[in-house]
Structures are given as structure tokens and as C-alpha cells.
Structure 1
């Protein structure tokens, strides 16, 4: 029997539950038509109202089932007979008002989703790498300066102290980078500056955004993608939803900035001007570094003769 999962308004996922449990939640008015549900075999999470017929085949009025649920009247006698597949009774007009819980951001699952391809992600990564590199230089310099002043190393550092400063600076840079990704992924744009420039964003596999700690951890999963000969990154060119290894580990996807919104028609399959410019500049820089390296090796070889 298929196991179901569902997400509440706080974006907390619940499950696995049986179809009968979903039916009970539906009957009690606890499963809003817009609640996202998923079971094995679905490509992505779907609103409850689009799949309820699969769980509630006896629902007599599917059109009514798509309307908003209302909480049953508080004075309903206990043990009253009810149809297990019927909607909850409307609230009494004399009942006290209830506060409406709003989503932070609406997620639309009906439109086509453009997943960000390998080269779009490379372009975004190059931009973010430049920003992070500059921040790391500033932070590393500040740490070295503070330690030097604090311990009075104006006349120079011994090798052990220099190594310790370098280690502290590297750890600070690592944490700074993880915080960079976590902060921007948890923002309203769901994207780092590099991704924003390219027009893409990172979301959960059901289109919902994710918080700081998932973004923070995703950076370390990204390191793992690089440690295995960058195969984890290359997976984006071959997987169905263009996911990398770290996407699969963290249950994320990278999509167009207009995906899962009310305007899916604004998505772009093509790279775009910014991505092309960044990739060309990055390619030229890479070729230049290779030429310099070969020139240096040639000079060393000539000096050896």
C-alpha cells in the first residue's frame, strides 16, 4: 500500500501515512485543498485537491471538495454519525472568528518547471566564487592583523605561528562561505547573488523554499561533490531534474527564478546574456592560467639545462 506524505503551513513534512489517514484528516477538515502531498511514483509534490479522488473515490462532489475547508461546528455532538469521506460541516456564523494562517510564499505546481542546466549553474558558481574570494581575503587579512597586533608580532612570525594564523583564517573562510550560502538561500529570492544574476534559484524538491541550516549544510555537501573528482557536479548534466549529488543529499533542485510561481511563462530555457558573458570570461581566464603554467614549466625546464 502506498505511503503518503503531506506538508503543513509551517512547511513541516509529516508521514509516512496511509491513504486512510489522509481520508481521516480530510474528514476532520485538517487537510486544506492546497496542502501539498506526495507518494512514491509522483514526480513532485501536488496540491491535495488534485489527487484526492485517488484517495477518496467515493467523493460525490469533487468540485465542492476543491473549495476551502471549514471547521466543523464546535457544538457537534460527540459520536454523531458522519460520512468518512464527507467534508466538514460549515462553521456557525455565530462562532468566534479564527485567524487565517498565510503562507510566506505561494508555490504553484501546475506550470512547467525549467530546471537550471549545468552551464547556468557553472556561471552562477563563478560569480559567487569571486564574491566569496574577495570576502575571504578581507576576513583572512583582518584575522592576521588582529592576531599580529594582539601578540605583538611586528618583527615577524615564526613558522608555527604563521601556520596557526593560516589555519584559523581558513576555518573562518569555510564558515563564512557556508553562512553565505545559508543566508542567501533562506532569503526571499532563494538564491545567492550569482544565481540571482543568472536568473535561477534553489528550492526544495516540492518547490518550497528552505531555511538557513539546510543551505548551510548544502555547502558542505557541495564540497563532497567536488571531492569525488567533481562527479557530483557533473551529475547535473545527466540527471532527470538536473540535480547534483549535493542536491540529492539535501532534497533540493535549482530552477528558473519564475518556476513554481504564478508566472511560469516567464521562465527561460536558454542561457541568457549574463551567463554567456561570465562563461566566456571564465573560459578565457582558465586558458590564460594554463598558458602561464606551461610557460612557467618551460622556463623551469630551460633553467635545468
Structure 2
């Protein structure tokens, strides 16, 4: 049976080695006073400086400060008695009931137990590094979180999607997006064992025994991060909670959401990684500033109203407050102009080449063409739009009868202009606000010029 010494290097164990070989590695700098060592017959790993026979003359003897859990692991069980020749299989008197049997009690090959403490060379991560990694993760993952809320939740719950479009929803929306982003962070960590922010800034999160947290474990951690670290994302409260955690880490203590369960290490960072991380952080900050600027402009337009120019007729409309605009394309590839409020969506479009088609004929054909999406009255009622004749129809969306539809048609020469307003949550979209918008939009439709009278004829 080999009675040589073993030492831990990161997560690897090297040995067995003789005392002379250990001394040689000390002289070459491969190991030092804080390296963890063990040999058969010893229950636990110890720092080299605590083993008298391994210490070289003149070697620094200062004890290495270890975290509380490491000290407890070193002293939690007294050493087992050495075996004697008369009793080849002694029974340990001080071993815990749940302790693993020592290698020297078996006839098999000697194998060093895994050290139960932090691997040498991985110091705790500092507060600034953790702060930048956290900010990077939250900001980047807010993008897919927002997309998920708009594309998935907004499609299932249209009223929520329209509410998201409203600039007044921004503060409350932030409180919703942050926990969704943290949930996405747990998914990323569960898949890859790290996140982009932690990878860039050299952060490694492990359990106290050195193992990798599972998805469920890390999800529990980010839940506590959201509560005690980010303060539920509430402004000013976040500053207080993050400041408290910052100074805890700065003083060498674990953050409240890491105590007794998680360790946050600082891995090595070179010039290349530092440059990439700095560039990525600067780019992210620039992107956030740009988005904030766009949101500010959008809020101003929403609350004050804005001028809109019809790209076909080049005529201008003063859009009332409470509306947002975006240009889109329908399933046929035609350009449609969409105006969104907190409860309805208005779509303004034109169809050309209808010189020899009356408005009544167009209305019947159009109602038949859109019946897969909307169920509209087959008979329209006349409506006056700024003194001009138009046709109005009411109905509902085919897929959801609670979403009422109001459609208005207006003919000008060979063009038919239409405005379709869709409500949400069983609301009637024909309101004073939509009527004011309709008047402004149809005001950009020119009055058809009278046909020229041939020379020599009178009317």
C-alpha cells in the first residue's frame, strides 16, 4: 500500500509523492504554503503549512485565511487512529455515521478523497466585477424577455400587447420584464453553466462543495437576487438593496443570496477578455442610451400628438394625442399605416385602379375577400366624413368575437381608401377618439377632380 502524499491543484489531485518530491515542488513554486495536502491515514485535507514534516526551512508559515465553510470542513471530524499490526482492520472510534470509509481501511488501491473546499487560485469575485456582470446579464436578457412578452403573451392577450405599446406602461413594464429576464438567465445557466456577463467578466458561480448549481438551484438563487439584490426592480429601492450587497461583498462577506449555499469565484482575465468585456459593456450602454432616447421621443409624440404626412397624396394630418404610428405591410405586400392606442388598433390603407368600380360594388367584394379574418355586415350604412360620402360597416374578428371591428370606406377617383379599427376585450372601437383620428386621416384624401369636358360640348 502506497503511503505517499497527495496535493490538490484546482479540481485535480496529484500523487502519491514522497516528502522529497513534495519539497522539490515547493522549491520550483508548483505548490506553496496554502496548497491542500493529504495522505492515507488522514481523514481530511490540510494546508501544507500545517504539516510540519512538509515545511521547508525558511518557508513562510503564516496561516492562510480560508472561508468559514473551509475551516469547518477541516476541523469537523478528528483524525482516525492509525492501524496496528495486531488489528489489521480497526474500527474508527470517532468517524461520523455518514463518513466515507478511509482508503487505508480497504485492500484496494489508495485514492485520495476529493477536497471539500475552494480550489486554490480562485479568489472570491470583487463587487465591481459582479456588478458589471449582473448589469450586463440583466440588460441583454431584457431584450428576449420583452420580445417574449410582446410576441407570445401579446398574441394570446391582445389587450396586454396594446398596453405594452403605450409609453405610460414603461415603469410597470420594467417591473414585469426584469423577473422574466432573470428566468431566462436561469435557463441559460442551466444549459451552459454560465451566462454571457459572467463569461465576459470572469465570474464563476458554484455550490459550497464546488459542484455546479442545477437549473432549479440557480433559479432559486436569481429569485433571491431579484428580491434582496435588485429590490424587485423598484427605483430607489434597487439602489438601496444593491448598495447593501455591494458593501457586503466589499467587506469580504458573501451576498445575502449566496450565504451558506453558493460561492462566487473570480477566474483569470487577460488583456483580450478585458478588452472584449469593456467594448461589450460600452456598446451595451450606448444601446441603452439610444433606446432611452427613442422612448423619450415616442412618449412626447404620444402625449402631445404629431404631424403625419400621407406618403401617397403628400397631404398632412395632425394626429391627436394618444396615438402611435408605424408603417407595416399586409399579407398581400401592400403598405398599410397602423395607428395604435391603449385599446384599439387602426389600419389605414388604399387600393388603386378602381376607376370603373363604384363604392357599393367595392364594399361587397371587399367584405367577401376579408371574411376569413373579419365577419362584417354585408350591408353598409352611409356616413359623412368631413362632408364626404363614405360607407361604414361593423363586425368582429373571426378568431375572437370579443374583438369588435369598425370599417369605413371612402372613394376618390380611382382609389378606395379604407380605415379599419379593431378593439380589444369586448370594447366598441367606434369612439370619439377613433372618430377624430378618422377625420384627420381621410382629410389627407384629395377630392376627386371633375372629368374634363371635351371642347365644343357643354354640360
TM-score, normalization: structure 1?
0.49
Higher-Rg structure is: 2
Which structure dedicates a bigger proportion of its chain to helix?
Answer: 1
